[in-house]
Amino acid sequence: MNLTHHFLLSMPQLTDDVFGRSLIYLVEHNQDGAWGVVINKPMGLHLGEVFSQLDIKNSNRELQHELVLRGGPVDQQNGIVLHPPGPRFEGTQNFAGGVSLSSSRDVLEALAAGEEPDEHLVVLGHAGWAAGQLEAEIADNAWLTSPASADILFNTELDARREAVANRIGIDMNVLVTQSGNA
């Protein structure tokens, strides 16, 4: 089963800072492994600070206080912008389900100038799995999966994304327990 363009919803037994209560957008999944970005955890950094660090003039004051997300533990110094297809930048890749990924400076310059993409998520870092690793974690009930939705990705409030995905698959995350079996 290819899980590209799916959400991974962490189960309660995942309690570490990175993956506990996380929602991951799985960008790519194939026989070589998988990678995606956590889309519900801010990292305490605002986009205005990123613009300042990169000496990008920000004329779009609405973005000054937009939160940058902690995409995962891998390559945390590298930024990724997820956005709907349309505008093309130097490092743009289009993926299934109406999502594009841009990782070049020009996408940040466009955002700072008030240009497209209007809908976007800016993340630093990503999560990665070796071949077979994600499948093993899913088999161990560490993750629930759901087809991804661009609407949840771009139009649902940060703190409501996880619950929105759980609702789509008919799960009440508040009643899940961390262990099963007899006491």
**pLDDT, tens only, 59-100:** 988 899 999 999 999 999 899 999 999 889 998 999 878 899
Tell the CATH superfamily of the 6-175 domain: VC0467-like (3.40.1740.10)
Q: What pLDDT was estimated at residue 172?
A: 86
Q: What is the pTM of this model?
A: 0.92
Boundaries of every domain in the chain = 6-175
Structure tokens at 27: 């960008």
Angle at 104 between CA 124 and CA 4, to 5 degrees: 65
pLDDT digits (tens, 9 = 90+) for 102-160: 999 999 999 999 999 999 999 999 999 999 999 999 999 999 999 999 999 999 999 99
The answer, yes or no, to whether residue 57 has pLDDT greater than 50, is yes
Q: In the prediction, which pLDDT does 77 show?
A: 87
CB 10 within 8 A of CB 20: yes
pLDDT band at 11 (very low <50, low <70, confident <90, very high): very high
Q: How many CA atoms lie within 13 A of 123 on its CB side?
A: 29
Q: How many whole angstroms separate alpha carbon 115 and alpha carbon 13?
A: 42
